[in-house]
Structure 1
Amino acid sequence: MYQIVDSFKSYLSVLGYSSTTQSMLPACIRDFLEYGQYSSIGEIQPVDISMFYEWLYMRPLKRGEGALSEMMISHYMYALKVFFSWQLETGAIIRNPVSVLKFKRPGRGHREPLTVAKIQTLFAAAATCREHAMLHLFYSCGLRRSEAVRLQLSDVHFRQRLLYVRSGKGDRRRVIPLTDRVAVSLEQYVLQERGKARYTGTAFMLNSKGKAMRGNSYVALLKSLLRKAGMRKDISPHYLRHSIATHLLQSGMSMEYVRDFLGHKCLESTQIYARTGSHQLQVL
């Protein structure tokens, strides 16, 4: 029965879904199948999916305390929609049990961007080249966490003042111009700190153990910096990306430029960062 999960993952790969989605959606389907213990996909009815949906709200987290967020539950429902649409297309089922159901849309949390003064406080608290480089990747370059994880040494051109995002969201590529200060700071990290590690790989950023930085490593480094700066601990790397986008728009840069800078597919995604105000961008 669970071989279908592997087939679903292959289907997502053929369609060009990101590697993260290729892992997440099949994992959601596996949880659904384990919950229902179904003998065949054809026996699944809308009521089964409704019961699973209600159960997700009560299911405890697999790690730590608490329950699933509305956004995560929404991901489960999206996985089921894609999965059963695929099953219908292949002729494995004659009715899509999800098509007759409606689910509550997750509330969009309000993420207030950091002020320029707060950003300056963070940079002032950064004591190492690695901390400065991390701030520049997420704020000055506006990278997503997954993009920072995949960043390679060959992607950063110090003399040309360019940073290449080879595989952004939706596998879109883009080129980010670097200010002199950002380029110098990133180069200092490579020459003064990164070069001391016994690392033979090509990842741009390394953790304290001299290995390639992963997503949780970036979060831990930022949390440590927030403690030193005396700032609230719920700020994530995406807050920095959100903040530079807002600051750029407030400084008068066009929505189209900011869209390309962030790697958005459409302007609607960029418009959520638009804020009115008189702040002016200060290059860090």
Structure 2
Amino acid sequence: MEQEIKGFVSYLHNVKRTSRNTELSYQRDLMKMMRFLHRQQVEKAEEVTETNLHSYILDLEKNGMSAATVSRNIASMKGFYLYLREEGTIAADPAEHLKAPKVEKKLPDILTVEETERLLNQPEERTAKGIRDKAMLELLYATGMRVTELISLRMTDVNWEQQYIICRDRNKERMIPFGNTARKALEQYREKARPELIGEQDCGMLFPNCSGKSMSRQGFWKVLKQYARQAGIQMDITPHTLRHAFAAHLVENGADLHAVQEMLGHSDISTTMMYTARTREIYEKAHPRG
């Protein structure tokens, strides 16, 4: 079964053009399923039955997996066995009738405007690293881009005159405007800090690490957590927190939902609509007649 899983991941990569994170998630879920099935003496993909898969789902639930995690695993199984069915590897799809548990959508914790300002003001602008960090945080909040998009930006992805960023993933690209505060932070970084960070190296990345190399997600996460602690923010903050703040603050101030959807790169507007639910929650708590 391992070879079939590798073939499926290759199909995702080459045909579906999915992200590396998506591919790793599918692979992780399916390898875990395979190990369970092997313990049940089910070795081959064509031997798997719907009962086997139900047993695996019960095992996940018994081990305390959340409804969201179980749902994700079921989605992985459905995608995998549909692929095998279409490839002719199996005659019938054992995952066809699996039902995912209902997942209650939890609104993300959102930084207030005041908390966001405290966070953005933490970097010390006396060092190249501090100036870089300030520019990264300002741009992240100004555009709502994903952290992987932020650390993948190249110098050529910035339109300095028109003040927009070009974000690319494997399927499409989108242009996101940024305001004057982010522009000033970026220009200061470009002039004062970036030359010091890259030295003599030929580096096209907009935001290299302190060695002049590409920054990792983990590297930026550590930077963000450090500034959150300095700002006295109690929330368990992640790079996605500023993306949520970007969207929520726009919606709270009356931004068009479809425009926010486009800037975030959401394919389904229902994902963006959770920020209107957040706005409704704030209204009901704050309005005297809410």
TM-score, normalisation: structure 2: 0.84
Q: Secondary structure at the match of 2:93?
A: coil
Say whether the 8 Å CA contact 1:138–1:238 is kept in structure 2: no
1:282 corresponds to: none
1:249 corresponds to: 251
Tell me, yes or no, if structure 1 residue 94 matches structure 2 residue 98: no
1:26 corresponds to: 27
CA distance in 1, matches of 2:68, 2:220: 22
User: 1:85 Cα shift?
Assistant: 0.8
1:12 corresponds to: 12
Residues 195-236 of structure 1, C-alpha deviation per residue, up to 9 Å, x if partnerless? 222453322222344431221112111100011101115011
Closer, same or farther: CA 56–190 of 1 in aligned 2, 3 Å: farther
CA distance in 2, matches of 1:200, 1:27: 36
Amino acid at match of 1:46: E
Amino acid at match of 2:111: L
1:281 corresponds to: none
Amino acid at match of 1:88: R
- Work out which of the residue numbers 116, 119, 124 in structure 2 matches 1:122: 119
CA distance in 1, matches of 2:65, 2:187: 41
Counting only pairs closer than 5 Å after superposition, residues 1-284 of structure 1 correspond to structure 2 as 1-13=1-13, 14-37=15-38, 38-57=42-61, 69-127=66-124, 128-167=130-169, 171-198=171-198, 199-274=201-276, 275-276=279-280
Q: Secondary structure at the match of 1:34?
A: helix
Residues 65-120 of structure 1, C-alpha deviation per residue, up to 9 Å, x if partnerless? xx755433332221110001111122222221112322313332331321111111
CA distance in 1, matches of 2:50, 2:25: 22
Residues 14-56 of structure 1, C-alpha deviation per residue, up to 9 Å, x if partnerless? 1232332223212322222123223211111122222322333
Higher mean C-alpha deviation, range 213-222 or range 47-56: 47-56
CA distance in 1, matches of 2:108, 2:227: 20
Say whether the 8 Å CA contact 1:131–1:225 is kept in structure 2: no
CA distance in 2, matches of 1:130, 1:215: 15
Higher mean C-alpha deviation, range 70-79 or range 215-224: 70-79
Amino acid at match of 2:70: I
Say whether the 8 Å CA contact 1:49–1:98 is kept in structure 2: yes
Closer, same or farther: CA 69–158 of 1 in aligned 2, 3 Å: farther
Q: Secondary structure at the match of 1:273?
A: helix
Closer, same or farther: CA 109–93 of 1 in aligned 2, 3 Å: same
Say whether the 8 Å CA contact 2:84–2:90 is kept in structure 1: yes
Q: Secondary structure at the match of 2:165?
A: strand
CA distance in 2, matches of 1:134, 1:105: 37
CA distance in 1, matches of 2:51, 2:94: 8
User: 1:57 Cα shift?
Assistant: 4.3
Structure 1: runs of 5 or more not aligned: 60-66, 279-284
TM-score, normalisation: structure 1: 0.85
Say whether the 8 Å CA contact 2:70–2:100 is kept in structure 1: no
**Structural RMSD (CA):** 2.2
User: 1:58 Cα shift?
Assistant: 5.7
Say whether the 8 Å CA contact 1:138–1:240 is kept in structure 2: yes
Structure 2: runs of 5 or more not aligned: 125-129, 284-290
Aligned-pair identity (%): 27
